[in-house]
Structure 1
Amino acid sequence: MLKEIGSIFSFLTIIPTGKATLETIAKYMYIFPIVGIAIGLIVGSIAFGLSIFLDPLVVSLLVVASFAIVTGIHHTDGLADFADGLMVKGTKEKKLAAMKDLSTGSAGISAIVLYVVGLIIALSLSVGYELFLAILLSEILAKFSMVLMASIGKSASLGSNSPFVELMKSPKKLSIAAFITIIPLVVLGGVSGIVMFGASIVMTLFLVSLSNRSFGGITGDVLGATNELTRLASILIFVSI
């Protein structure tokens, strides 16, 4: 299992800890929340240390930069493509084509700007251990949301998302992912963690429904966008409770 966790960590970050095929990564997608814990601990610890010396707004900017460095921003790119696809008028085929276009449109650029600004503002509202906790819990939920989406969604077209959707149709795998996610949320987050968990499920269900109507299913870009949107929404909820 350590080998699989290392492979998935390499898939979700830029840190080379293992190699595996896309099918192998998809097979063990249900342990995404474990990697979310690792990423949350890394970025959260950076945030905690910086918050001792720096202004909250400066800390939040550096934290967003840390997320970008650690994760390689490939999920953020998915958010941009997702926004471009949604804004295209016409058939599902035209929307899917817009998502696959290598150039980023105005909708994608706007989505990234709003996302980054929102994340900086949300993170600046917490300091110290609370900031660490917000980052850790939101990152676990971001990864669980992708597992949940792959479990209940259908592929809009053949692509990198297909193995994940096919191999996650297992109640047992989803239950394991949910268990891994819930434990730290309840133990560390208490009521706030439970609220965040419920909100992440609602957001994922909404994005699945939206993607089904717009694209005929989910794609790799939709999964990436879900990761980013769930992270932002979870942090906003945490700092608001």
Structure 2
Amino acid sequence: MSLDRFRDAVRFLTIIPVGASNDATDSEWLVRSAQFFPLVGAIVGLVSAAALLLASLVLGPVIAALIAMLASILITSGFHEDGLADTADGFGGGWTVEQRLTIMKDSRIGTYGTLALIFAIALRVAAIAEMPTWIAAAALIASGAAGRAVVLPVVGWMKYAGNTSAMKVAYAPSPLRAREIAFAAIVVLLALAPLAATSTRFPFEALVGICCGIVLAVVIALWSRRLIGGYTGDVLGAIEQVFEIGFLLGVAAVIRSAI
């Protein structure tokens, strides 16, 4: 059922309590729930946007932006940030495919992962602080949805490079269906609506943000294919993170150029 798949997506991507899973033995549950990833991303973005707006009432833009990032990290338990850090450590510290995959599975964080996290958070905070508050809040919602959507083509076009038998969740590769892709696309378009309502530069800044995010996401995807022969869950987390960075920086650049 669609509601069950939505709950699976919420359970997988966030710490929001939605009850026990009904799909524990279904090896396709993750792929079938992927259509709801952008919707969950929009919810995460909405929480982050609300934190930004509330903090902006009494605090400056940089601190408010930090609180917005903190809200996002708390509600996802740093799920995507962890993937970014593991990917950076694996790609930066390994010499062979096996070494890279082993490093990525290690729960410890290294120099590359630490630096990746510092710059990922710093760039997003700086971009948010550059924008007017309401536009920044709208951009958080849009980037949250689009960032989770951009991983879907990667899953569809690249092969899984990890060991599926060692995964913590039941998983079997399966192509996304046309209606699932269409649903995800519709959610992203709806998530752009707040940006359209708050910015006089729409849709230009949205297009620039999406293009910047896609460029960074493609770079990571191609890099992953070259270094490990495909993608892993950590790589998908890294792709989501760099897309958000590119999107927010793109929107901030357009807004600033209009001042």
Verify same fold: TM over 0.5: yes
Q: Is contact 2:90-2:101 (8 Å) kept? A: yes
- The code of the aligned residue for 1:193 comes to A
Per-residue deviation, 1:127: 3.4
Residues of 2 paired with 1:75 and 1:165: CA distance? 21
Residues of 2 paired with 1:161 and 1:193: CA distance? 36
Per-residue deviation, 1:174: 2.4
Per-residue deviation, 1:48: 1.5
Residues of 2 paired with 1:132 and 1:204: CA distance? 22
1:69 corresponds to 2:74: yes
Structure 2 spans left out of the alignment, 5+ residues: 197-202, 255-259
Per-residue deviation, 1:180: 2.1
Structure 1 spans left out of the alignment, 5+ residues: none
The root-mean-square deviation of aligned C-alpha atoms, in Å, is 2.3
Residues of 1 paired with 2:205 and 2:66: CA distance? 24
Aligned to 1:179: 186
Q: Show the 5 A alignment for 1:111-126.
A: 111-126=116-131
Aligned to 1:217: 230
More off after superposition, 184-193 vs 92-101: 184-193
Residues of 2 paired with 1:61 and 1:205: CA distance? 27
Q: Is contact 1:5-1:31 (8 Å) kept? A: yes
Query: Which one has a bigger Cα radius of gyration?
Result: 2
Per-residue deviation, 1:75: 1.4
SS at match of 1:28: helix
Aligned to 2:200: none
Residues of 1 paired with 2:103 and 2:84: CA distance? 13
Residues of 2 paired with 1:218 and 1:36: CA distance? 20
| Structure with the higher helix share, 1 or 2 | 1
Per-residue deviation, 1:187: 7.1
Aligned length: 241
Aligned to 1:236: 249
TM value normalised by structure 1: 0.90
Q: Find the partner of 1:26 among 31, 37, 41.
A: 31
- The code of the aligned residue for 1:196 comes to G
Q: Is contact 2:213-2:242 (8 Å) kept? A: no
Residues of 2 paired with 1:232 and 1:173: CA distance? 26
Q: Percent sequence identity over matched residues?
A: 26
Measured against aligned partners, the alpha-carbon deviations of 1:141-170 in whole angstroms (never above 9, x if no partner) come to 111112222122211122349977823443
Aligned to 2:97: 92
Residues of 2 paired with 1:10 and 1:162: CA distance? 12
Q: Is contact 1:155-1:161 (8 Å) kept? A: no
TM value normalised by structure 2: 0.84
SS at match of 1:15: coil
